C-alpha cells in the first residue's frame, strides 16, 4: 500500500505515537514527489538544502520547507497537470485573492477513511434521515470554494431529506436569504425527523440574534445537530464567546451544547479537525502541528503562542506538505483536556497582521527566484 494510504487508513485516528513511522514515510515520499514534479518546490528545497531522505524522526519534520498560505494566493504551484487532477478548489478570498489548490484522486481516496473514522468518533454520522439547513453557499458549478464543498459534503453525514441554503445562487452571484432559512427552521420543527444546521458560525450568530429579537424560537426535533464550519473570519463578524453562541442555540433552536460540532480545516490543509466535547481541536494522525516563533520561525514549546504550521502528506497535486497559516495559536498536551483524546490540542487565538505574512511570503518568493511579492 502506498505510504499515504497506509497513514490515512490507520485505525486509531488520535494515536500519534503509533502513526509516527507511517507519517514520516508518507511525508518523505510526498516531499520527494513534489521535488520531482513541481520545479518551484524543487527550487525551494534546493536553496534550503533540504533532502527528504534526511527525514528520520518527528523532530526532522520542522526542517521541511514551510510555504506560507499567501504563496498559494500569489502563485499557481502545482505538481500535476490540471487534466490529471480530480478537482480544483479555492479559499474563500474575502480580500480578493484566493488560494488555488488542486486535488489528486489519491487525496480524495485517502480522505474517505479519515472522514468516516472521525465522523463516527465524534457522532456526526447517523443513519437517521435529517433535513439540512445550510447557512452557507448553495453549490454551483462555478463555485469552487472549498467551504462550499465541505458544507455540501456534510449534508451526507445522515441521509439528507431536504436542503435549504441561506446563500442562494441568483444568476452569477449569491443573495443572502436568512429569512428563508428561519422559515425553514420553523417548518422543520414540526417534522418527525431531526434537522441539521450546517454553516458559518457568524451566520448562525446573526440568525439566532434575529430570531430571538423577533420572539421566534423553535424546538427542533431531538437528535438535531448544529455543525459549524468555515470559521468566523469569512464574513468579518465579531467573534462572540462560544458559550454565548451555544447558549443562544439552545434557547432559540432547542439544540443542546453536546449536539453542536465545530470543525476546522483549510483548503491548503484539508484535514478533518473536529472539536472535542471541551471545544478543543486535538491533532489527528493525518496531521502534525508546529507552533513557530513569528520572528525567527523556530519551533516553540507547548503552551507558547506563535504561528501555526500545518503538516500533512495528503496532497500530491499541490505542494501543501508543510504550510504556514496566518493564524496564531498554541498547543497543549492532550491529557490536560480531560476528554480522553490523547493527542495534543490546538487552540487558535487570532490572526497575525498582513504585513508579517507578506514578509514571510516575500521570503518564500525569493527562494522561488521571483523577488519581492509585495
Q: List residues near Zn ion by CB under 5 A.
A: 276, 278, 280, 337, 339, 341
- Indicate the DSSP class of residue 145: B
Residue 164 parent element (H or E)? strand 160-170
**Based on CB atoms, which residue is closest to Zn ion, 205 or 272?**
272
CB of 344 to Zn ion, least distance (A): 10
Q: Residues 114-131, buried b or exposed e (16+ Cβ, 10 A)?
A: bbebbbeebebebeeebb
- Residue 326, classed as helix, strand or coil, is strand
- Minimum CB–partner distance for residue 338 and Zn ion (Å): 7
Q: Which of 81, 303 has the CB closer to Zn ion? A: 303
Best CA proximity match to 228, nearest among 133, 309, 130, 111: 133
* Minimum gap (Å) between residue 348 Cβ and Zn ion: 15
Residue appearing with cell numbers 447558549: 247
User: Which is nearer to Zn ion, 14 or 174 (by Cβ)?
Assistant: 14
Q: Minimum distance from CB of 20 to Zn ion (Å)?
A: 21
CB 228 to Zn ion: min, Å: 17
Sign of the C-alpha dihedral computed for residues 163, 166, 167 and 168 taken in this order: positive
* Residue recorded with cell 439528507: 160
What cell numbers appear for 174 in the block?
449569491
* Residue 7 contacts residue 286 (beta carbons within 8 Å): yes
In angstroms, the CA 283 to CA 58 distance is: 14
SS3 5: helix
For the bound state, the minimum distance from the C-beta of residue 271 to Zn ion, rounded and expressed in Å, comes to 17
**Which residue number, 27 or 276, has a Cβ lying nearer to Zn ion?**
276
Amino acid at each position: 500500500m502506498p505510504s499515504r494510504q497506509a497513514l490515512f487508513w490507520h485505525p486509531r485516528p488520535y494515536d500519534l505515537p503509533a502513526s509516527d513511522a507511517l507519517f514520516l514515510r508518507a511525508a518523505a515520499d510526498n516531499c520527494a514527489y513534489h521535488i520531482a514534479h513541481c520545479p518551484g518546490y524543487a527550487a525551494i528545497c534546493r536553496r534550503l538544502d533540504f533532502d527528504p531522505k534526511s527525514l528520520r524522526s518527528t523532530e526532522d519534520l520542522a526542517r521541511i520547507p514551510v510555504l506560507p498560505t499567501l504563496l498559494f494566493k500569489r502563485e499557481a504551484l502545482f505538481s500535476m497537470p490540471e487534466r490529471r487532477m480530480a478537482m480544483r478548489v479555492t479559499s474563500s478570498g474575502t480580500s480578493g485573492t484566493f488560494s488555488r489548490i488542486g486535488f489528486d484522486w489519491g487525496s480524495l481516496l485517502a480522505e474517505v477513511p479519515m472522514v468516516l473514522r472521525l465522523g463516527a468518533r465524534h457522532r456526526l454520522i447517523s443513519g437517521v434521515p435529517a433535513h439540512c439547513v445550510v447557512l452557507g453557499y448553495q453549490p454551483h458549478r462555478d463555485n469552487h470554494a472549498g467551504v462550499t464543498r465541505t458544507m455540501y459534503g456534510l449534508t451526507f453525514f445522515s441521509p439528507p431529506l431536504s436542503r435549504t441554503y441561506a446563500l442562494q445562487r441568483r444568476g452569477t452571484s449569491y443573495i443572502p436569504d436568512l429569512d428563508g432559512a428561519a422559515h425553514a427552521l420553523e417548518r422543520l420543527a414540526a417534522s418527525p425527523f431531526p434537522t441539521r444546521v450546517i454553516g458559518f458560525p457568524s451566520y448562525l450568530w446573526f440568525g439566532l440574534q434575529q430570531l430571538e429579537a423577533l420572539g421566534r424560537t423553535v424546538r427542533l426535533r431531538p437528535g438535531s445537530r448544529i455543525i459549524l464550519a468555515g470559521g468566523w473570519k469569512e464574513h468579518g463578524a465579531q467573534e462572540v464567546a462560544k458559550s454565548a453562541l451555544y447558549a443562544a442555540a439552545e434557547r432559540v433552536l432547542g439544540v443542546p451544547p453536546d449536539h453542536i460540532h465545530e470543525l476546522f480545516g483549510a483548503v491548503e490543509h484539508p484535514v478533518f479537525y473536529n472539536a472535542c466535547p471541551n471545544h478543543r481541536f486535538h491533532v489527528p494522525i493525518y496531521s502534525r502541528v508546529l507552533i513557530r516563533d513569528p520572528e525567527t520561525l523556530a519551533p516553540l514549546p507547548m503552551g507558547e503562542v506563535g504561528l501555526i504550521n500545518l503538516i500533512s502528506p495528503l496532497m500530491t497535486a499541490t505542494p501543501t506538505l508543510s504550510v504556514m497559516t496566518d493564524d496564531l495559536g498554541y498547543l497543549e498536551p492532550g491529557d490536560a483536556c480531560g476528554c480522553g483524546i490523547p493527542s495534543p490540542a490546538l487552540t487558535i487565538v487570532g490572526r497575525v497582521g498582513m504585513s508579517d505574512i507578506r514578509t514571510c511570503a516575500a521570503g518564500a518568493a525569493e527562494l522561488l527566484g521571483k523577488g519581492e511579492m509585495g
